[in-house]
Amino acid sequence: MRGSWIVAVGLCLAGCMTHDDSQRQAMAGREDYLLVQEELRRLAGRMEGVELEISRLQANLETLRGSQARSAQSETRALQTRLEELEGRLRAVDTAREKDKQEIVDSLSKKIAQLVSTPAAGAAKKQSGARRTGPSTGYEHEVQPGESLSAIAVAYGVSVKVIMEDNDIKDANRLRVGQILFIRD
């Protein structure tokens, strides 16, 4: 019986935990807990790093947006300045053209006046025929290229209206080169 008793105690003891086993399990659980905590700390550190990187990228993005807006404003100002410069040049060219045109008109008027003032050179004094109902004496003037009725009137010292009436002209802008006009004295 003694042998069976030993076997029975051995079986009982085999199914029971000893104090050392429970301490080993508690330590293993504690190690697992510490490993999990360490992993959580490591993950928290990585998240903090990712958040810092996101903040840095957002700051860079805002900086780029600001510089892009400033660049666009700068380009707009440069284009506006260029446009104003070109407009100024255009006004200067227009002013110069008007001045040149006035000088040409003045020069032609002087030449016409000189031609008219010397009857032998530009016009012949003539007694008017039966064709005219107005005055009987005056000059005949042959229209030259570029002459206007007003320039001719100034050269002879008469009004445009008088020349139009004496020559049956309905439209002062319809003169023909070579047309002969009667200009009264």
Q: Which two tokens stand for residue 128?
A: 């008017």
Confidence of residue 33 (pLDDT cuts 50, 70, 90): very high
- CB of 114 closer than 8 Å to CB of 144: no
CA distance 180 to 175: 10
155 close to 139: Cβ distance less than 8 angstroms? no
Q: What DSSP letter does each residue of 21-90 carry, written as one string? A: HHHHHHHHHHHHHHHHHHHHHHHHHHHHHHHHHHHHHHHHHHHHHHHHHHHHHHHHHHHHHHHHHHHHHH
Per-residue pLDDT of 117-126, as tens digits, reads 765 444 444 4
pLDDT digits (tens, 9 = 90+) for 126-139: 444 434 455 568 88
Angle at which helix 149-156 crosses helix 19-117, to 10 degrees, equals: 40
Structure tokens at 76: 């707009």
pTM: 0.33
Query: Which of 38-47, 78-87, 134-143 is predicted with the least confidence, judged by mean pLDDT?
Result: 134-143
If you average pLDDT over residues 51-70, what whole number do you get? 90
The pair of structure tokens assigned to 137 is 């004496």
Which pLDDT belongs to residue 39? 93
Tell me the pLDDT band of 114, cut-offs 50, 70 and 90: confident
What is residue 129's predicted lDDT score, i.e. its pLDDT?
A: 41
Query: Is the model's pLDDT at 63 over the cut of 90?
Result: no
Q: Could you give the percent of the chain with pLDDT greater than 90?
A: 48
In the DSSP assignment, the letter for residue 103 is: H
Dist CA 126 CA 76 (whole Å): 71
Question: pLDDT tens digits for 89-112?
Answer: 999 999 999 999 998 988 888 888
The predicted pLDDT at position 31 comes to 92
* Residue 130: burial class (beta carbons within 10 Å; 0-12, 13-18, 19+): exposed
Mean pLDDT of the chain: 83
**Euclidean distance between CA atoms 170 and 116, whole angstroms:** 24
